[in-house]
């Protein structure tokens, strides 16, 4: 190619870039240009101390708790013993070292290829008091281990509560950074938006081994506060080449959910109420079209939501519905077409998802007018619609999803590809604060912080005010 032609091409490209840049600046959303520093995205070696196996014969490891009932007066405590089943007993009480109560659980085990799991214990501890610190002990004599947790305040519209939102965590140095930052955040319970260990990136017996290491890795938080689980694609583990064809086999053996308490027939979808929030967990990878069990359950569960008791309605699922990243673009469509209309009708406050390894927050928008014979296929501002938040940036070995669609779609309010976690600080029935913390900044500097008014208690009030002041909805749609 002649040098003159090259020069012209270069000029043409430059002009194009300048035009694109102008178009970008026309949009309302923010694409953060923050340049991250990051740890390399490989898994921490198994001999690292973050995976240390507790000492002593048959010592309990991978200790974790989750909510055990509908209203927060029970926990399910789970752990693994390596040498023999041993007791599934939890001793507990309200003062340290004094365990006047006990509960008995169940033990299970499974194989995956030639890997044989340890003995996995699940013990329901119920009849707890609200807002109380409990101490608990598991295992026998010299190998026993002690932990504690705090129960939530009672179900009340003004019970304050702080949830952490973590997704796609994995077990790299970035994952460790996310976990450590979260643990300084003041979060009281984690809403985990799926993709836990990334053990399925391994082969043969290493799959099971990496599930075990992840259980020990996360214990620093999961033993002391409930993590509310939802399943992602990395939990499916459909691996016919090694003879493993039962979806979610490792996940379902290891992670308990209180699905029966919300009348679900499947641990992959369920609901809990905690403080002032009603939390609905959905499974992106289970049937959800009309008449399927998940569809029927969600229809009925939404009717049970009582915004006078739990004003904050939150949905958790793995695959985002509104995502402007090139990674996993539109993978949430099949769920959107069946459930979005309900989310708008019931005025869901937040939909938290993961899957895309970046952070993104939407405005309140909906695309429910579209049907295959109408032409309205575009999301429009909608005050009854949820805010969609993607927090798939926990730090797994697949790295970040840094390529966003340009220009930023109008529905996207803020997006950035850095590792981090979110917190949702519920203050009372009308106000909550959503923060996103990137790991690079340390805990005290949220990179995105927004005040949200409750869809049930605050939106009517606000609408009246807006009308009075002749304000346009645009630019105010966060609220």
Ligand X SMILES: *[C@@H]1O[C@H](CO)[C@@H](O)[C@H](O)[C@H]1NC(C)=O
Binding residues vs Fe ion (CB under 5 A): 195, 232-233, 355
24 DSSP assignment: H
* Cα–Cα dist 58/97, whole Å: 21
Query: Of how many residues is the chain composed?
Result: 479
Q: Is residue 94 a contact residue for ligand X (CB under 6 A)?
A: no
Q: How far is the CB of 381 from ligand X (least distance, A)?
A: 17
Q: How far is the CB of 195 from Fe ion (least distance, A)?
A: 4
Stretches 165-173, 174-182, 268-276, 365-373: which one binds ligand X (CB under 6 A)?
Answer: 365-373
Catalytic residue, from 328, 357, 421, 437: name it: 328
Q: Is residue 308 a contact residue for ligand X (CB under 6 A)?
A: no
Q: Is residue 111 a contact residue for ligand X (CB under 6 A)?
A: yes
Closer Cβ to ligand X, 41 or 88, answer by number:
88
Tokens of residue 279, six digits: 């939390």
CB 437 within 8 A of CB 423: yes
Burial category of 29 from C-beta neighbours within 10 Å (exposed 0-12, middle 13-18, buried 19 and up): buried
292 DSSP assignment: S
Q: How far is the CB of 355 from Fe ion (least distance, A)?
A: 4
- Residues in contact with ligand X, counted by CB under 6 A, come to a total of 13
Q: Would residue 355 show up in a list of annotated catalytic residues for this protein?
A: no
CB 82 within 8 A of CB 115: no
Q: How far is the CB of 234 from Fe ion (least distance, A)?
A: 6
CB 435 within 8 A of CB 446: yes
Closer Cβ to ligand X, 179 or 344, answer by number:
344
Q: How far is the CB of 249 from ligand X (least distance, A)?
A: 11
Q: Is residue 462 a contact residue for ligand X (CB under 6 A)?
A: no
Q: How far is CA 115 from the centre of its chain?
A: 28
Q: Is residue 114 a contact residue for ligand X (CB under 6 A)?
A: no
Of 427, 418, 426, 412, whose CA–CA distance to 445 is shortest?
418
Residue 355 interface partner, choices Fe ion, ligand X, none, CB cut-off 5-8 Å depending on type:
Fe ion
User: Judged by CB under 6 A, which of 427, 440, 458, 476 binds ligand X?
Assistant: 427
Tokens of residue 368, six digits: 């429910």
Closer Cβ to ligand X, 108 or 150, answer by number:
108
User: Judged by CB under 6 A, which of 266, 428, 443, 449 binds ligand X?
Assistant: 428
Helices of type H across 248-292: 249-254
Residue 232 interface partner, choices Fe ion, ligand X, none, CB cut-off 5-8 Å depending on type:
Fe ion
Of 323, 292, 351, whose CA–CA distance to 413 is shortest?
323
CB atoms within 10 A of CB 373: 5
User: What is the number of the residue whose Cβ is closest to ligand X?
Assistant: 374
Q: Which residue has the tokens 């140095």?
A: 173
User: Which residues does 147 contact at the CB level (< 8 Å), separation at least 6?
Assistant: 63, 135, 136, 137, 223, 224
Q: Is residue 374 a contact residue for ligand X (CB under 6 A)?
A: yes
User: Judged by CB under 6 A, which of 39, 57, 99, 110 binds ligand X?
Assistant: 110
Of 59, 136, 133, 132, whose CA–CA distance to 101 is shortest?
136
Identify any residues that bridge with 91 across adjacent strands, giving them in sequence order.
Answer: 102, 137
Stretches 65-73, 93-101, 108-116, 136-144: which one binds ligand X (CB under 6 A)?
Answer: 108-116
CB 29 within 8 A of CB 23: no
Q: Is residue 376 a contact residue for ligand X (CB under 6 A)?
A: yes
Q: Which residue has the tokens 């296929």?
A: 377
> Rg for the chain (alpha carbons), in Å?
23
Q: How far is the CB of 193 from Fe ion (least distance, A)?
A: 9
- x-marked contacts with ligand X along 387-426 as a string, rule CB under 6 A: ----------------------------------------
409 DSSP assignment: P
Q: Is residue 109 a contact residue for ligand X (CB under 6 A)?
A: yes
Residue 430 interface partner, choices Fe ion, ligand X, none, CB cut-off 5-8 Å depending on type:
ligand X
Question: Which residues are catalytic, by number?
Answer: 328
Which residues of this chain interact with ligand X, rule CB under 6 A?
Answer: 109-111, 116, 369, 371, 373-374, 376, 427-428, 430-431
């Amino acid at each position: 190619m002649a040098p003159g032609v090259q020069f012209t091409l270069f000029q043409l490209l430059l002009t194009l870039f300048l035009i694109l840049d102008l178009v970008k600046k026309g949009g309302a959303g923010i694409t953060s240009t923050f340049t991250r520093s990051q740890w390399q995205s490989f898994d921490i070696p198994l001999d690292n101390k973050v995976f240390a196996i507790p000492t002593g014969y048959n010592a309990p490891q991978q200790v974790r708790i989750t909510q055990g009932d509908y209203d927060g007066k029970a926990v399910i405590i789970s752990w693994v013993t390596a040498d023999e089943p041993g007791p599934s007993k939890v001793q507990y009480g309200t003062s340290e070292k004094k365990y006047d109560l006990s509960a008995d659980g169940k033990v299970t085990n499974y194989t995956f290829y030639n890997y044989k799991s340890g003995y996995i214990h699940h013990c329901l501890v119920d009849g707890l008091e609200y807002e109380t610190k409990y101490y608990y002990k598991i295992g026998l004599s010299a190998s026993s281990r002690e932990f504690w947790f705090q129960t939530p305040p009672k179900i009340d519209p003004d019970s304050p509560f702080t949830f952490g939102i973590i997704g796609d965590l994995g077990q790299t140095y970035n994952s460790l950074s996310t976990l450590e930052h979260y643990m300084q955040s003041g979060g009281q319970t984690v809403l985990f938006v799926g993709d836990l260990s990334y053990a399925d990136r391994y082969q043969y017996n290493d799959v099971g081994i990496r599930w075990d290491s992840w259980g020990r890795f996360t214990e620093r938080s999961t033993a002391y506060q409930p993590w509310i689980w939802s399943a992602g694609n990395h939990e499916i583990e459909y691996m016919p080449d090694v003879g493993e064809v039962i979806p979610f086999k490792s996940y379902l053996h290891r992670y308990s959910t209180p699905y029966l308490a919300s009348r679900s027939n499947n641990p992959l979808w369920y609901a809990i109420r905690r403080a002032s929030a009603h939390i609905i967990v959905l499974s992106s990878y289970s049937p959800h079209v009309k008449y399927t069990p998940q569809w029927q359950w969600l229809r009925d569960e939404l009717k049970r939501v009582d915004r006078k008791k739990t004003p904050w309605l939150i949905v958790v699922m793995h695959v985002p519905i509104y995502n402007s990243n090139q990674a996993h673009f539109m993978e949430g469509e099949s769920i959107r077409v069946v459930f979005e209309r309900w989310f708008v009708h019931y005025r869901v406050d937040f939909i938290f998802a993961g899957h895309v390894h970046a952070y993104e927050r939407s405005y309140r928008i909906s695309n429910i007018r579209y049907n295959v014979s109408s032409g309205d296929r575009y999301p429009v501002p909608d005050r009854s619609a949820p805010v969609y938040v993607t927090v798939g940036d926990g730090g797994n070995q697949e790295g970040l999803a840094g390529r966003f669609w340009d220009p930023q779609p109008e529905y996207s309010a803020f997006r950035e590809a850095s590792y981090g976690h979110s917190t949702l600080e519920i203050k009372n029935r009308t106000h909550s604060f959503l923060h996103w913390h990137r790991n690079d900044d340390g805990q005290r500097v949220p990179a995105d912080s927004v005040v949200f008014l409750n869809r049930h208690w605050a939106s009517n009030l606000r609408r009246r005010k807006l009308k009075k002041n002749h304000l346009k909805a645009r630019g105010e749609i966060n609220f």
